[in-house]
Amino acid sequence: MAGYLRSLFSRRGGCKQEQESPTSLRSLFHKFRRILELNNAIMEKMAELESALGGEYIFDNAFLSRAVRDMSGLVHQVAYSLNAMTDDRYVELYDRYEYIKGVLDDILSGGLGPQASRLAMGFPELHWENLPLAGMPNVCLAELLRTPHIGAVDGFVVTVTACRLMQEKGMTPKLEQAILRETDALWQRLGRPEGLAVSACPAGGSEPASGLPAQESNREHIVRDVLEACRKGVALGWRDMAVGVRERVPSEYWGRLRTCCPESRTLGAMSLAMSGPAGEEHYNLRRAHPFPPAESDIRPKDEAVRLPDGVKPLTPVGGGLLRGSGLLPADSQRLIAEAGIVLERALGAPQELHLCLDREGVPRILDAAVAEIVEEAADADDLAAVLDQAKVLLRGGNSAQAGAAAGKVVHIKEGDDPEEFPLGAVAVARAASPQLAPFLLKAGALVTELGSTIGHLATVAREYRIPAVFGAAGALKTLKPGAEVTVDASVPVVYAGSLDILLSQSRAGSELYATDPEFTTLRRLLQFIMPLKLTDSGSESFAPQNCRSFHDIIHFAHERAVEELLDAHEGGGACIEPHRLEMRIPLNIGLVDAGGGLAEDAGPVVTRDDILSEPMHRFLGGLRYAWDNRENLQVSMRDIFSGMQRTAAVLQAPAEQGMNLAILATGYFNLSLHMGYHYSVVDAFMQDNPHQNYIYFRFAGGFADAERKNRRAELIRRVLATLQFNVEMTGDLVTGRLKIVDRETMADALEQLGILTAFTRQLDISMGREDSLGRMEQAFREVAAQYEAAKELP
């Protein structure tokens, strides 16, 4: 961070050299604009790929190959353009580009991916994209481990690569070392497990498959037993396999859940069977939360027998009720059903789970895989008849993630506690705010009135494969809290009640399933295209060698291209004389026009009216309003500004005397703004195509103590979150990203950022107490509301 501040402050000196020829200046601007255009074209392609993952589009492998090839070509041009701007200062960017492109090509050709060299991996490291390397049952358990309240067993996997090595050379020292290292790590995670269970499963191909029955093992014999499991797989003729090593749970009660049970008399019911010393039982559970039994086969038991939870049948449990004689209390049935539904939703195929009850009677999931059940789609005529009769509560909106789910409606908003959200319920919200993401861990479906299907929340919905509809007007009014509804996000439509036939049909429907090779390939590709990890341009890690995705590369190139253009002002290269912006605000802003940002006849001094760049115009509109009206605002606001004026002299940093630079172009601006000891950066692109629109906002620094700075950072975080930004905080550095929104939303967000920028100017002085945070947030909202009202005046 300090490095970035230094680099920005070092720019403030004015032009030291004579202006270079217009040709080189034009060339610099041309390359900068080229990077902008390329970045926007790449962002559009990323959005297209993300949408494809949600099941909205029909596509094939040829599309994936072509999309990756096209995108690779564009990213290469970004690296080239940046190096052309900077005299080849970032040639390492080509290396990262080549590496990532190589990984993408490998995935497209069915390779194991960049982790192919790993011999063993702990479950906490495993994700869906590791399926070809780790095998279905291991990845399923790993994913269940991440789901709250579901008791899956922990473990590690000896990968396909390791098994190939074992088949070729037997147990090598390197392999033995990897297994023992993961065993030690597992021991640390579990404390004192009672033993291990080892099981091989086929892997490497696209088809799901369950493994061999697990064999008991222990820490001393684990290497031998892994080798033995691998040999069993070879004997079965498996070409590629992985070996799972898991915690062994001593138990007397064993069970099996099938999330699809064609033989059941209850349409679409799940089948759960348990057996143990106290007898056998069978339940058909409904598929809608809380998964109540539609049918139960519970045999009478001797009153003296101890049930799995240690209690005798018919023991009073309070409230005048008796325990009953079932092996599984309702809570346990629900937990098991949840585990099945979580996996079924993620994989889009019926699941078979093997489980046991531990000594306390708590269910533990031991094994999971796609069930070998051939499930036909519900009869189209039956389905059509049911849908004809069904009451449509809501129609319309955009599908962010296809699929169907039923549950009770719960209205949610930012600030609500996700812990209190009932699992499996249908979440209904006003806007698709990124802050609602934690609810998706528990929701059965999500419906919002506003929001982009390619924003952050849509990405999370696709990650968890939660049926999601955004932009469904009137959802909050129509979908009443507590009402049972069925959401068919593929259409999209919301029906009254739980439509079992639709839920059943959706499992054999048109969605893209995790078991489809195209889905697996796309999800794996996106891991090396989409994530943006390189966000802090001031940190030492902001370097080409740390680019992990195409997104990182284009973000890096953009930031450095902006700096290059601003550095040209200093006189190191093509010298740029910025236009000075005349405003009543005491901020010295210089404007560098990269093309189409200013009126053609703009002179050395310009006003806001000369600015043709709409995003900059909007931002300055908000900034100027908040400043001009500082005396006419509510009391709380006056307090803030008077406090600011009193302390202005104290806060005046040496850098304040320099110039704040903005680069403008048609539909684009980048502004680095220094106020006192803190600074912010706004980078925005705005035009008619929502897929190319974005705002990137960064705020850091400050004069006050850490506590006040953190309060201000928290205030900014809250405001950005309300504006639908995806926000991250690291210390007092706040970064917010808004992407893929329409022009109107962009305009509103930029005006509010302008207000926020004026508002937060030296605000930390006013935030001496914890309660000031809420007061300031309220004050900001008042200013923003007054601005909106003022805009509507003739």
- Cα dihedral 671, 752, 551, 4, rounded to 10, equals 40
The SS3 assignment for 493 reads strand
Residue 508 found at the interface with other proteins (CB under 8 A): yes
Tell me how far, at minimum, the Cβ of 384 lies from other proteins, in Å: 5
Contact region for other proteins (CB under 8 A) — 328-336, 510-518, 528-536, 673-681?
Answer: 510-518
Residue 703 found at the interface with other proteins (CB under 8 A): no
Q: Round to whole Å and give the CA distance between 583 and 699.
A: 22
- Cβ neighbourhood burial of 650 (10 Å; 0-12, 13-18, 19+): exposed
Pick from 76, 50, 79, 43: which is nearest to 64 by CA? 50
Residue 477 found at the interface with other proteins (CB under 8 A): no
Using omega within 30 degrees of 0 as the cis cutoff, is the peptide bond preceding 124 cis?
A: no
Complex with other proteins: residue 509 or 621, whichever CB lies closer: 509
Contact 764, 650 (CB under 8 A): no
Lookup: tokens for 292: 């109540």
Which of 20, 37, 44, 48 touches other proteins (CB under 8 A)? Answer: 48
Residue 56 found at the interface with other proteins (CB under 8 A): yes
Which of 18, 60, 417, 420 touches other proteins (CB under 8 A)? Answer: 60
Tell me how far, at minimum, the Cβ of 55 lies from other proteins, in Å: 8
Residue 511 found at the interface with other proteins (CB under 8 A): yes
Tell me how far, at minimum, the Cβ of 512 lies from other proteins, in Å: 7
Contact region for other proteins (CB under 8 A) — 24-32, 503-511, 603-611, 655-663?
Answer: 503-511
Q: Round to whole Å and give the CA distance between 514 and 521.
A: 9
Tell me how far, at minimum, the Cβ of 54 lies from other proteins, in Å: 11
Tell me how far, at minimum, the Cβ of 343 lies from other proteins, in Å: 21
The SS3 assignment for 655 reads helix
Residue 52 found at the interface with other proteins (CB under 8 A): yes
Contact 45, 693 (CB under 8 A): no
Tell me how far, at minimum, the Cβ of 767 lies from other proteins, in Å: 48
Tell me how far, at minimum, the Cβ of 56 lies from other proteins, in Å: 6
Using omega within 30 degrees of 0 as the cis cutoff, is the peptide bond preceding 290 cis?
A: yes
Q: Which of positions 62-81 make contact with other proteins (CB under 8 A)? A: 62-63, 66
Per-residue CA distances from 115 to 112, 130, 144, 160, 251 (Å)? 7, 8, 21, 11, 35
Residue by residue, DSSP assigns 705-748 as -HHHHHHHHHHHHHHHHHTT-EEEEETTEEEEEEES--HHHHHH
Which of 59, 528, 668, 694 touches other proteins (CB under 8 A)? Answer: 59
Tell me how far, at minimum, the Cβ of 428 lies from other proteins, in Å: 23
Complex with other proteins: residue 366 or 400, whichever CB lies closer: 400
Q: Which helix H or strand E contains 322, and what residues bound it?
A: strand 321-322
Q: Which of positions 347-376 make contact with other proteins (CB under 8 A)? A: none
| Cα 296–Cα 300–Cα 306 angle in degrees, nearest 5 | 105
Q: Round to whole Å and give the CA distance between 570 and 148.
A: 54
φ and ψ at residue 221, rounded to 5 degrees: -105, 10
Lookup: tokens for 602: 């703009």
Complex with other proteins: residue 236 or 377, whichever CB lies closer: 377
Pick from 188, 124, 119: which is nearest to 152 by CA? 124
Residue 57 found at the interface with other proteins (CB under 8 A): yes
The contacts of residue 383 (CB under 8 Å, 6+ apart) are 501, 502, 505
Tell me how far, at minimum, the Cβ of 379 lies from other proteins, in Å: 9
For residue 428, the tally of other CB atoms under 10 A from its CB is 30
755: Cα within 13 Å, side-chain hemisphere: 28
Tell me how far, at minimum, the Cβ of 377 lies from other proteins, in Å: 5
Complex with other proteins: residue 491 or 496, whichever CB lies closer: 491
Residue 496 found at the interface with other proteins (CB under 8 A): no
The count of chain residues that interact with other proteins, using the rule CB under 8 A, is 25
User: What's the one-letter identity of residue 631?
Assistant: E
Binding mask 706-735 toward other proteins (x if CB under 8 A, else -) reads ------------------------------
Lookup: tokens for 270: 């799940």
Complex with other proteins: residue 8 or 41, whichever CB lies closer: 41
Tell me how far, at minimum, the Cβ of 284 lies from other proteins, in Å: 25
Which of 217, 490, 520, 680 touches other proteins (CB under 8 A)? Answer: 490
Complex with other proteins: residue 63 or 254, whichever CB lies closer: 63
Residue 377 found at the interface with other proteins (CB under 8 A): yes
User: For helices 22-53 and 517-526, what crossing angle results, to 10°?
Assistant: 140
Tracing tokens 């009677």 back to the chain, one arrives at 361
Which of 10, 61, 218, 545 touches other proteins (CB under 8 A)? Answer: 61
For residue 182, the tally of other CB atoms under 10 A from its CB is 22
Instruction: Report the largest interatomic distance among the alpha carbons of the chain, rounded to a whole angstrom.
Output: 100
Residue 383 found at the interface with other proteins (CB under 8 A): yes
Residue 58 found at the interface with other proteins (CB under 8 A): yes
Tell me how far, at minimum, the Cβ of 378 lies from other proteins, in Å: 9
Complex with other proteins: residue 105 or 516, whichever CB lies closer: 516
The contacts of residue 256 (CB under 8 Å, 6+ apart) are 272, 273, 352, 353, 354, 355
Contact region for other proteins (CB under 8 A) — 136-144, 507-515, 623-631, 781-789?
Answer: 507-515
Tell me how far, at minimum, the Cβ of 104 lies from other proteins, in Å: 18
Per-residue CA distances from 779 to 40, 177, 488, 767, 773 (Å)? 36, 60, 41, 12, 10
Tell me how far, at minimum, the Cβ of 490 lies from other proteins, in Å: 7
Complex with other proteins: residue 7 or 689, whichever CB lies closer: 689
Q: Which of positions 513-542 make contact with other proteins (CB under 8 A)? A: 516-518
DSSP state of 611: B
Tell me how far, at minimum, the Cβ of 788 lies from other proteins, in Å: 35
Which of 505, 520, 680, 757 touches other proteins (CB under 8 A)? Answer: 505
Residue 510 found at the interface with other proteins (CB under 8 A): yes
Pick from 125, 190, 119: which is nearest to 160 by CA? 119
Q: Which of positions 261-280 make contact with other proteins (CB under 8 A)? A: none
Contact region for other proteins (CB under 8 A) — 59-67, 345-353, 366-374, 424-432?
Answer: 59-67
- The residues of the shown chain that bind other proteins, judged by CB under 8 A, are 48, 52, 56-63, 66, 377, 380, 383-384, 490, 505, 508-512, 516-518
